[in-house]
Amino acid sequence: MNTLNELFGIDAQTEAFCREVEQSLKECFDRLDETMHINGAKVLHAMQKNKLSDVHFSATTGYGYNDLGRDVVEQIYADIFKTESGLVRPQLMSGTHALTVALFGNLRPGDELLSPVGKPYDTLEGVIGIRPEVGSLAEYGITYKQVDLKEDFSFDYDGIRAAITEKTKLVTIQRSKGYSYRPTFSVKQIGELISFIKSIKPDVVCMVDNCYGEFVETIEPTEVGADLCVGSLIKNPGGGLAPIGGYIVGKEEYVEKAAMRLTAPGLGKEVGATLGLNQPVLQGLFLAPEVVTNALKGAIFASALYEKLGFEVMPTSKESRHDIIQAINMQSPENVIAFCQGIQKGAPVDSYVVPEPWDMPGYDAPVIMAAGAFIQGASIEMSADAPIKPPYTVFFQGGLTFYHARLGVMIALQTMKDKGLVTLP
């Protein structure tokens, strides 16, 4: 029988250490399974309620008029998120694109966009105009303001109150940490923040960037007051099967404005061929609660291993989870590089590639990225990336199955051990 040592070079000491850590996580894993069962039932009920049939998998082309499957997909998403409307399209090419469509659809010249949780993802800097780019919101006369979190990562409510003015039209709340070393916000925290903002300006549109957070908890931000919720189908809700796409769900007025921006004024949601992609989009959604749970188990496993080795991790293995991302402060560039190269070795695709840091456009330090995914850029599949700068934090996410996430983390640990960077107890 093949052993982990024969297949992947994982020695007996590393395997024993990892097994010991894994056995200590049973209680954590059981809690994740409880959440998975609730979310799985929610998805199944939405599909049954909308009388999903194989006729809805049929491909449409061209304009996509009368695409029955597209309408059912969007209603299923609306029901899962308990919202009035949904826009779920392969023409939304990424989470950044979905956010861009939602922002441009709902903001007009003279409006102001506010982020009460600090700087958003680097990829949104060009969209907003923080980093000058052709076609940014800033070029259209839409201003931007942000309120940073306090040192303890709590909301600066006084700063937020002072920042909201008559010009404040839309508030964007990024749920996940991105490349910031901060906790991910829980749905409860997001609800409290939205309530505070609405108490100051009731007509402000509150939008949540939900990337990496779907199905991690049993409720979503639209259930606690978010007017719009936006994400990518090649992250959590696509379940590893959706080959492309994004979603925007929320109040019908705001979703329709986004649809007019995606297609054209007067056309909105009425056009947009699905090209035969409804079936993998829906099947991925059906699997998503379990796939997300597998990714979370991989994240907790990584957290527990590196905690035991003395590294600082966020969140810890015992803390509640609100997205699939695990941050580990690796203490040195060598540790970061070895970890990412180990994750790449564990990939099903491009495992032979050796990632190296490079000067990626839009970042202020070299970045190393490890990913060998069936869907390019699919963060629900196992990957790791890090900017090469203190405190040398690596961000690990994904794993369609726990066995793969587990193996990937073990190979990364063995890679660091072989380079003499860590010593196992």
CA max distance for the chain: 69
Residues 206 and 241 placed together within one structural domain of the fold = yes
Residues 394-409 have a mean pLDDT of 96
CATH of the domain at 177: 3.40.640.10
Report how many helices (DSSP H) and strands (DSSP E) the chain contains, helices first.
12, 12
Beta strands in 233-343 (DSSP E): 246-250, 312-314, 326-329
85, 199: one domain: yes
Q: What is the CATH number of the domain that holds 386?
A: 3.90.1150.60
Q: Which residues contact 360 (CB under 8 A, 6 or more apart)?
A: 366, 367, 369
Residue 63 and residue 34 share a domain: no
**Beta strand 367-371 pairing with 383-387:** antiparallel
Q: Is the pLDDT of residue 361 over 90?
A: no
Residue 1, judged by CB atoms within 10 A of its CB (0-12, 13-18, 19+), counts as exposed
pLDDT band for position 1 (cuts 50, 70, 90): low
The verdict on 98 and 33 lying in the same domain is no
What values do phi and psi take at 358, rounded to 5? Answer: -150, 160
Based on the fold, state whether residues 346 and 382 are members of the same structural domain. yes
Shared-domain flag, residues 224 and 309: no
Does the pLDDT at position 363 exceed 90? no
Centroid of chain to Cα 372: 17
Q: Residue 362 has what pLDDT? A: 61
Average per-residue pLDDT in the chain? 96
For residue 237, give the nearest of 287, 279, 280, 285 by alpha carbon: 285
Task: Report, as an integer, the average pLDDT of 137-163.
Answer: 97
Which pLDDT score is estimated for 178? 76
Q: How confident is the model over 66-104, as pLDDT tens digits?
A: 899 999 999 999 999 999 999 999 999 999 999 999 999
Tell me: do 207 and 333 sit in the same domain.
Answer: no
Final residue of a structural domain among 247, 276, 305:
276
319-344 per-position pLDDT tens digit:
999 999 999 999 999 999 999 999 99
In contact, 233 and 247? CB cutoff 8 Å: yes
Q: How confident is the model at residue 365 (pLDDT cuts 50, 70, 90)?
A: confident
Angle formed at CA 152 by CA 146 and CA 156, multiple of 5 degrees: 35
Residue 56 is classified by DSSP as G
| pLDDT value, residue 179 | 74
Range of the domain at 346: 4-40+286-418
Kindly report whether the global pTM for this prediction surpasses the value 0.85. Answer: yes
**Pairwise CA distance, residues 244 & 98, whole Å:** 12
CA 184, distance to chain mean position in Å, is: 11
With pLDDT > 90 as the criterion, what percentage of the chain qualifies? Answer: 95
Alpha helices per DSSP H over 182-268: 187-200, 252-262
Model confidence over 105-119: pLDDT tens digits? 999 999 999 999 999
Q: 253 lies in a domain?
A: yes
Distance between CA 64 and CA 269 in Å, rounded?
10
Strands of 193-333, DSSP E = 205-209, 228-232, 246-250, 312-314, 326-329
Confidence band, pLDDT 50/70/90 cuts, at residue 59:
very high
CB burial of 97-127 (b: ≥16 within 10 Å; e: otherwise) equals bbbbbbbbbbbeeebbbbbbbebbbbbbbbb
- Is the pLDDT at 57 greater than 90? The verdict is yes
The total number of structural domains in the chain stands at 2
Question: What is the spatial distance between Cα 248 and Cα 262, in angstroms, rounded to a whole number?
Answer: 11
pLDDT digits (tens, 9 = 90+) for 261-317: 999 999 999 999 999 999 999 999 999 999 999 999 999 999 999 999 999 999 999
Per-residue pLDDT tens digits for 32-51: 999 999 999 999 999 999 99
Residues 240 and 205 in one domain: yes
Residue bearing the bigger pLDDT, 181 or 406: 406
251 and 327 part of one domain: no
